Structures are given as structure tokens and as C-alpha cells.
Chains A and B, each alone.
Chain A
Amino acid sequence: MNMNMTILGQIISFIIFVYLCMKFVWPPLTAALAERQKKIAEGLDAADKAARELEDAQQSVEAALQESKAQAATLIEQANKRASQIVDEAKETATAEADRIKAAAAADVEQEVNRAKEALRAQVATLVVAGAEKILGASIDVNNHQELVDKLAAEL
């Protein structure tokens, strides 16, 4: 075992290799590692955030659903109310219309009856005059007995 210049050669190579390692190996590799670490951390953060956002979204969806359900219920209730109101109104209108028609019909009937009565009365007056002429055998001056005939007719 001889000690010789190999020792110096080894010192020089050692210095050169450490320098090369410092220059070309260590910084890029540790930078890549740090970068990846950062990326993973960011990814995890993003995942957390997304999960939180999802939860928020689900909550707001739930709230919106509840609200629309309530709205729909109100609307249905209103519609029902309105419907029954319309039905009631229609009923009232129909009743009123029916009453009106009934009244009109009654008035018509009355009128007809009166007219028939008048016609009848006129005919009765004529018939009475004719009957009386036959019974008396003479003509009755309608003008002279107008008062009597009218009275008779009115009594009929």
C-alpha cells in the first residue's frame, strides 16, 4: 500500500464532481421535487375547494327546491281559490240569469193573458150585443148602450 499522487488526483476529482453535482444535478432535481410538491398541494387545495363548492351548490339547490315547492303550493292554493270563486260567480250569474229569464217569461205570460183577456172581452161584448139583439129582437144601438155593454164586459 503506497501513498502517492493518487491522493491529490482523488481530491481534485472529488472537488470537480461536487462542483458538477452542485451545478447540474442538485438544483434542477430539487426544483422539480419542490415544484411537484407545490402542484400536489395546489391540487389537494383545489379538490377541497371543489368539495366545499359542491356542498354549497347542493345546499343552494336544496333551498331553491324548497322555495319553488312553497311557491308551487301557494300557486295551487291561489288557483283553487280562484277556481272556486269563479264557480261561485258563475253560479250566482246563472241564478240571476235564470231569475231574470223566469221573470221575463212570467211577464210575457201575464201580457199574453191580458191580451187574450182583452180580446176575449171584446168578443164577449160583441157576442153579448148579438145575443141581446136576438133575445130582444131588435137591434141595440151600440152607441146608446155602450155603457151597459162595457159594464158587462168588464164584469166578465
Chain B
Amino acid sequence: MTATGPEARTATGSAPVPVTAALALGDDALVLSHRLGEWAGHAPVLEEEVALANIALDLLGQARVLLSLAGDEDELAYLREERAFRNLQLVEQPNGDFAHTIARQLYFSTYQHLLFAELASGDGPFAPLAAKAVKEVAYHRDHAEQWTLRLGDGTETSHERMRRACDALWRFTGEMFQPVEGLDADWARLEQRWLESVTDVLGRAGLPLPEGPSTGAWSAGAGRQGLHTEPFGRMLAEMQHLHRSHPGASW
């Protein structure tokens, strides 16, 4: 068989793929997939073990397609240095407790769902992947919303933990709406719709909308430029260790 990686070029196949955008979207999916994979063997209940692994698998599939548009998927995933990654700082944040993971999922899957729906309706190079992925991400978003409601509107402890998690990650949300070169999206409208959705879910969960800036020089917001937070380096070291120690390893 002629080897074929995931292939996402449009039927016409003529438009050059904007590499910056492919890396931004691909790295978001790859990094969050790896973080969610870290839950394997540690999730609070068996159903969540399965759910988080399945969400991670969906994201990994999306990452493979997107990174293949930009170059060799393995080289990009395993041989780039930290500064060459273009993912949002939000997705690289450590899992924390289950509430932190759910807050990260709520913020990111809402964003990804709205963005992919917009890309899917266009005719750009990402439309085929976005049209496919938007259906998968709908389930990720639903999963995060259901857990936000359950934890926010649950016990005193679950409410307090969920509130703290939403607060802690809030400063990483502003970065999502920085325009990405090569992506044809209405970023202001995306941000407005994201805020409406998150406000609605948190409201129904009995959780306050976090206060304070969603971005800022002192806090966060340069992942797309290759600047990352401290935990990301450790995550990459673990993710890339095998491939770097045994180049070309396979099984």
C-alpha cells in the first residue's frame, strides 16, 4: 500500500494551506489531547476514564490531520522545541483537580465548537476538517457543560472547587480571540458568542462569571507567539522523550 496520512486538502486542492493557522489549530488539539490522556488510570469514575480518553482521541485525530497539512506530523509533534509550538496557553495548563479539567474543557470546547462551525461554513482549506470535527466537538462541549452544571449545582465542595477552577483559568481565555493569520473568522463575534454561552452555562450552574481581565501582559496570552507557561516544558519533555530517545521507534 502506498502510505497515506490523513488527507484534508479540498477537492480542488489548489489553495496553499496557511501553515501558521494549521499549527495553531493542530497544536491546540495535540496538546489538549496529551493533557486529557494524562487522566488515563486516574479519573474519578470509570465512565470519565473512558470519556476523557475518547475526547483525547478525537483531538488527536484532528491534530494529525492539521499537522499533516503543515508538514510531517511526527516531526512536528516530537521534534519541535517549546518555542515553536503555537497552541493557546489555556490547553497546556495542568489538569489540576477534576474541576480544573472540566473548566478547561468548557472554555476550550465552546471556543473550538464555535470556531469550527464558522470554518466549516466557509470554503477555505480547513473546511473539510472543521465540518467533520465540529460534530465531534459538539459532544465534548456537551460533556463539559453537563459536568459544569453538576459540579456547580452540586455540593458545597464541588461548587467551591468549580468556582475556583473557573476563576483560575479565566485569565487564559482572552488569548483565544486573537486573530490567527490565515483563518477567516469574525473574532469579535466569536468572542461575543463564546461569552454568551459560557455566561449562560455558569449562570445555570449557580456559578459566578469570573471577574478580572481575561488576558493581559501580566498574566497570559502569548501561546500563539510561541511563549508558554512553565508546566508546558515538562509536558513536552514527557511527550517527546520516547521519540527523541529512540528515533524512528515503532511497534
Whether chain B is bound by chain A comes out as no
Q: Which residues of B contact A (CB under 8 A)?
A: none
